[in-house]
Structure 1
Amino acid sequence: MARGGDVNQELSELLNELWRSDVNRLKPGTDYTINLQGRAGYVARGSNYARDKARESLFSYVNEDKLKSIETYAHFISLLDNYETSTGVSEIVTSEEMRENHLFLDAILETDVMKCAHKYLVSKGQSPSDPMQFKRQLYDIWFRLYHRERGGGEDSCGFEHVFVGETKYGREVMGLHNWVQFYLQEKHDHIDYKGYKARANKDTPDEDDHVLNLQFSWKGLVKPVGGSFIGVSPEFELAVFTIIFLVSTEKMTSVVVKVDEYMLELVVYRHGRAIGTSFPKLISSNNKDL
């Protein structure tokens, strides 16, 4: 798969089908409200200081009752406290945590989003047609532990990095590209939202946008910019990045797609046979050139 460049029409059509199938996506202004505030500034590499252009939280409101009433979100939330977020510290997976992983995968595999993704991957010869074998493939891609830091134990996995977040040597934030985790960490005063990232003031995103580039601090460390879907279901994110991971053998894959009103660059890094990291970058929305 080519890196970046022109819009990938085949994947755009597929991801729009997933988008239309995502009945568990929450509705901005109804199910949740965000407060974008100011445009975040430049942060020097290695610096842990960022001017705060957002005095208030990103999420003003989230309907947690609705969130927790949807099975895939409920199982997803149960996974977020299962990890030691410092790299270099070996993960210990308990039998209860393994059970939670399987319950989450069972739940998302029942959704139309994952059924559509599975059908496509089977058609491309990238996934087994048997649902249980496909589940094992997903487990290996997202939950199988691996060594992220040299000389350390099995300290990471794709799910932890992308959805939960990690810190490296106590100096930088890695991953944490999920809006539910962001909201919950913000609710407990662990995240300080610094503002949205855009190339110019005239490119202010809208508060109903489902994809944002953000700047924030977490555990006292600054993330200069991180791309995140907002309001989408966990099954949608898992489906999108699983597809890109499996249809490419490159160490790093970057593909440009048009999904709904958003022009996106979707980035996936491999870590052997698993996800190293994956995230969206917002290029434009509402036909605006960012």
Structure 2
Amino acid sequence: MASGGQGINKELSDLLNELWKLDVNRMKPGTDYKINLQGKAGFVAEGSNIARDCARAPLFSYVNENKLQSIDTYKYFINLLDNYEMSTGVAEQVTKEELQENDLFLDAILKTDVMKCAHRYLVSKGRASPDMGQFKKQLYAIWFKLYRRDKSGGEDSCGFEHVFVGETKHGKEIMGLHNWVQFYTQEKLNNVDYKGYKSRDNKDTPDEDDHVLNLQFSWKGLVKPVGSCFLGVSPEFEVALFTIVFLISDERMTNVKVKVDEYLLEVVVYRFGRSIGTSYPKLVSSNNRDL
């Protein structure tokens, strides 16, 4: 794939901007959700779970619950968030009901224009079968196939759990949890405590209308010194983006720079065999004047 200025992958950027325009289920900042950025997060020593709280209030001051419950892709996504053991090393026990929930979610996102566009692109690159049923099986393997992340236990993890739900390593370290809906859900349950935002590479201050945020938080007593996630985007947009980056590269780690809407992002995807190990966006800058 050809890259443009500043190492930006133009082909992928063009595709992702098409997906961005198709993402009709994306929440509108200031209307469907409101965030309270508060202070800039401080330094956390490696291995420490002590962080200065630079944000006394939650990150999300408002989210349109009606949309979360009435739009199928959000509704079925939320049903998946309580299906996993938090700690690695503890084998997952998948019930028949949970398998059905996985199916319902994939069926819902595959009906969207976002995923149909992603599918067409992957077919054109020879990375997916034209048959939608085969593509669904491929998505299932990438996101829901269980694997052993911790060698001491059984099959304890999958791409969906790590990226969207989050998990802990030996009860001492937060891994994953790169999804805004899960973050909001856990904030409501008082499991997540937002500590403040992290500066981007160009040291500017985030905007409350931003759709991507680098942040610091604690989850059930453990601190994540720096994490990153999209804000307001639909589940299908994230699945499409990370699936595309995963499938177009055979590298163990793929790090690609793209410009989506007004955001300059690094999209990072690690593979775990034929599944996703982790994937997340890293905000480099926003607003066209910064590019």
| Contact 1:228–1:279, Cα closer than 8 Å, also in 2 | yes
Gaps of 5+ in 1: none
Distance 1:288 1:84 in 2: 44
Q: Which residue of 2 aligns with 1:29?
A: 30
Q: Which residue of 2 aligns with 1:246?
A: 247
| Contact 1:211–1:228, Cα closer than 8 Å, also in 2 | yes
What is the root-mean-square deviation in Å for CA atoms of aligned residues? 1.7
Identity %: 75
Q: CA deviation at 1:149?
A: 0.4
TM-score norm. by structure 1 comes to: 0.97
Equivalences for residues 153-172 of structure 1 within 5 A: 153-172=154-173
Distance 2:289 2:75 in 1: 35
1:177 matches 2:178: yes
Q: What whole-Å deviation, never above 9, does each CA across 1:26-50 have from its counterpart, x for those lacking one?
A: 0011111000000101111111111
Gaps of 5+ in 2: none
Distance 2:2 2:42 in 1: 31
Q: Which residue of 1 aligns with 2:257?
A: 256
| Contact 1:253–1:267, Cα closer than 8 Å, also in 2 | yes
The amino acid that maps onto 1:280 is P
| Contact 1:2–1:255, Cα closer than 8 Å, also in 2 | no
The more displaced of 37-46 and 193-202 is: 193-202
Distance 2:253 2:203 in 1: 31
Q: CA deviation at 1:167?
A: 0.5
TM-score norm. by structure 2 comes to: 0.97
Distance 2:202 2:244 in 1: 34
| Contact 1:197–1:213, Cα closer than 8 Å, also in 2 | yes
Q: Which residue of 1 aligns with 2:136?
A: 135
Distance 1:204 1:35 in 2: 13
Q: What whole-Å deviation, never above 9, does each CA across 1:56-104 have from its counterpart, x for those lacking one?
A: 0000001111211001000000000000010000001000000000000
The amino acid that maps onto 1:28 is P
Q: Which residue of 2 aligns with 1:229?
A: 230
- Give the secondary-structure state (helix, strand or coil) at the position aligned to 1:265: strand
- 4+ aligned runs moved over 2 Å, structure 1: 199-202, 287-290
Structure with more contact order per residue of length (Cα contacts < 8 Å, sep ≥ 6): 1
